Amino acid sequence: MNPGARAALLDGRHSDPHMVLGPHPHTSLGIDGTVVRVFQPAAADCLIVRDGVATAMRDEGAGFFSIFLPATVMPFRYSLRFIAHDGRTWERGDPYRHAPVPGEMDLHLFNEGTHRQLWKMLGAHLREMEGDEGVAFVVWAPNADRVSVVGDWCGWDGRQFPMRKMAGSGLWEIFIPGLAANALYKFELRTHAGLLRLKSDPMGFKMQQAPETASIVVREDAYSWRDGHWMTTRKTRDMVREPVHIYEVHLGSWARVPEDNNRSLSYREIAPRLADHVKRMGFTHVELLPVMEHPFYGSWGYQVTGYFAASSRYGSPDDLRFLIDTLHEAGVGVFLDWVPAHFPKDDYALRRFDGSALYEHDDPRLGEHPDWGTLIFNYGRKEVRNFLVANALFWLNEFHIDGLRVDAVASMLYLDYSREHGQWVPNKFGGRENLEAIDFLREMTAAVREYAPGCVTIAEDSTAWPKVTHPISEGGLGFTFKWNMGWMHDTLEYFAKDPVYRRFHHDDLTFAMMYEGTEHFIMPLSHDEMVHLKGSLFHKMPGDRWQKLANLRALFAYQVTRPGKSLLFMGSELAPPNEWNHDQSLDWHLEQEPDRAAFKAYVARLGNLYQETHALWERDGEQGGFEWLDVADRDSSVLSYIRHGADSHALILLNLLPTPHQRYRFGVPHAGEYTTVLSSDAAAWGGSGYATSATVKTEGIPYHGRQQSIEIALPPLSAMILVPV
């Protein structure tokens, strides 16, 4: 063996151990054959085993062994039997007899930055190669001097399984025979400075629970899906023109088991209970706060260390598949919060992965987030974009997720986001737009449309960036929906006002319609509004307990009847007095209180009525789908409008004062009769039960610019939905 290669292996800095170790053609004393070289520093002796026959190898010292096999032509199968200094023996195949794991097409797509199934090449995969069963490992670490796979099965010794660097790609690979599912592993990387870094797998499918940080080998394609019909029909769905009423869920605190140390429900335990609850409450989808592995529970999943790993807190990846499958069987779609904007500084994860700023920018003005103490992805690297785009497709295709709500889009769009003058770097044109991030978002939304048809992308963007939900061909970002943060802020500000002052703030409630047609919106009342001392929605409402609940009923009706889709954070159906606490279960005991039980029943009726009433969603995104009846009655704090469907319509009447209007006239589109399908003030929902007409006939009295009108009593702090008979 070349002395330099021997020294490099001993020192843990060889970048191509396959050139030295394993079988190689060799001629000795004029005889052609094969030499097999082995390095195993934990062994005192080594034997090569062929066809059941074990032959001792020559001990070359320091853990090196070799044997010359005359008249032996490669390839041939063999295993290695090691004898430790204490007499313990173990046997395995030789990792260094195998060809490279990635194929030519894999390498081409990776180098191009367009490998849309990157998770099938990189990471750890159970495979059979040339008769050996084991695990194939591939990792991207272009600036490392050496990379090894380590685990408890090798004493975490980085000298034992150094990987081969594949020229021109920055990829390192090895196939290790004998490893099986549930094996723990990490990558040990040697930097240019000679430092050793121990890293979890960026593509790992499972990780240990914090504070442990190893990746775990899993068996793939073991889950038998039951949602074939759902997945077939998903491809042709147009969610813009379907009912979308979303229940936002943090899995760890939806319900807990107090008699078992207050633990969270597992994926499998929560599945039937959540599916039944969501279905009964009239929600069409759940949106899960990030389920990717994260070390700090209080980050709610928004600081991800395992982008391809479902959190082990609640079970295995297949257990999560069971949850999604169960929801699909119940007819409930599943959206997932996804965080491509930033990642935490935990040193075992992506941070300075190979000793260099690999996934992040090296310049802190570009690579560090001042608000969250996290690192920002370098969207200018094709490999980083590929990692993130593939991650999006991974969840949509491998876990049957129906859509991704992309977190913190605003922070991605602007280079000066949360930065003062001098703390940010302009783009090449001198502007503040993050051109590389914009290109990434467009690449991602385009890839979702192509490789996960029927799935949606949702932007959480609080800025006025134009054309977020417009096609890329028209200069848009290509998202399906955008969270309407302006609506959320203005609406909550309005509803928090004492009703006596609401007439001075009427425009807060109506302003959002000025820009409604510019995007496809989702109106969120999310967890963000119920944490950090903001209080619960119930707490935000003015008045006594009855008025608070009445205001909430009107707010929720307004949310689901105006144009766009809606999202409500879990627990809001109980009107809890306190803000959300991720360390506790939802306040399910509130159902025992009669007025809150009635409130929950109201939320369920509202959700189901929304789905039944096509006019409330059928023409979302169309200019003719919404029409004001009266936008300007600020003195009465009354808001009225029409929702139009393809061949139907609904009237929505809101009285946002705690006093009724005994006789109130509205113009209507057609002559005939209208029936009240929902009054939030009904006694069944905890309302006052103020007398109002269940059915009302139109009169030929022109009003609101229409030839026909109706006169009806408006209960206090109420919302009414009327449809033609």
Would you call 393 helix, strand, or coil by DSSP? helix
Distance of CA 331 to the CA centre of its chain: 20
Let me know the angle formed at the C-alpha of 543 by 539 and 547, rounded to the nearest 5 degrees.
90
Q: Measured between alpha carbons, how far is 635 from 159 in angstroms, rounded to an integer?
A: 79
Reduced 3-state DSSP string for 155-209: CCCCCCCECEEECCCCEEEEEEECCCCCCEEEEEEECCCCCEEEECCCCCCCECC
Residue 398 known to be catalytic = no
User: 17: which DSSP letter?
Assistant: G
Burial class (CB in 10 A: 0-12, 13-18, 19+), 684: exposed
Nearest of 234, 240, 135, 137 to residue 187 by alpha carbon: 137
User: Which string of b and e fits 595-625 if b means at least 16 CB within 10 Å?
Assistant: ebebbbbbbbbbbbbbbebbbbbbbbbeeeb
Q: Measured between alpha carbons, how far is 205 from 310 in angstroms, rounded to an integer?
A: 7
| Torsion angle (degrees, nearest 10) of CA 298, 304, 308, 313 | -20
Q: Measured between alpha carbons, how far is 298 from 279 in angstroms, rounded to an integer?
A: 29
In this structure, how many other beta carbons lie within 10 angstroms of the beta carbon of residue 531? 16
Q: Measured between alpha carbons, how far is 411 from 141 in angstroms, rounded to an integer?
A: 27
For residue 55, give every residue at least 6 positions away whose Cβ sits within 8 Å of its Cβ, in sequence order, or none: 47, 48, 49, 67
Q: Measured between alpha carbons, how far is 189 from 481 in angstroms, rounded to an integer?
A: 41
Q: Measured between alpha carbons, how far is 211 from 373 in angstroms, rounded to an integer?
A: 20
If you search the block for the tokens 């813009």, which residue do you land on? 240
Let me know the angle formed at the C-alpha of 526 by 524 and 527, rounded to the nearest 5 degrees.
170
Strand residue runs (E) in 191-278? 196-199, 215-216, 245-249, 256-257, 263-264
User: Residues 175, 95: contact at Cβ < 8 Å?
Assistant: yes
Tell me the backbone φ, ψ of residue 724, rounded to 5 degrees. Answer: -65, 145
If you search the block for the tokens 């004029």, which residue do you land on? 30
Q: Measured between alpha carbons, how far is 266 from 259 in angstroms, rounded to an integer?
A: 15
Catalytic residue (one of 287, 407, 579, 618): 407
Strand residue runs (E) in 219-369? 245-249, 256-257, 263-264, 285-288, 292-293, 306-310, 333-338, 342-343, 368-369
For residue 570 the two structure tokens come to 């879990």
State the Rg of the chain over Cα.
31
Tell me the backbone φ, ψ of residue 586, rounded to 5 degrees. Answer: -60, 160
Residue 407 known to be catalytic = yes
For residue 386, give every residue at least 6 positions away whose Cβ sits within 8 Å of its Cβ, in sequence order, or none: 110, 113, 114, 115, 118
For residue 649 the two structure tokens come to 């319509």
Q: Measured between alpha carbons, how far is 216 from 399 in angstroms, rounded to an integer?
A: 18
Catalytic residue (one of 460, 519, 529, 573): 460
Residue 714 Cα distances to 12, 689, 690, angstroms: 80, 11, 8
User: Residues 116, 393: contact at Cβ < 8 Å?
Assistant: yes
Q: Measured between alpha carbons, how far is 154 from 92 in angstroms, rounded to an integer?
A: 12
For residue 560 the two structure tokens come to 């689901």
Strand residue runs (E) in 71-168? 79-83, 89-93, 123-129, 132-140, 146-150, 164-166
If you search the block for the tokens 């029936």, which residue do you land on? 675
Provide the annotated active-site residues: 407, 460
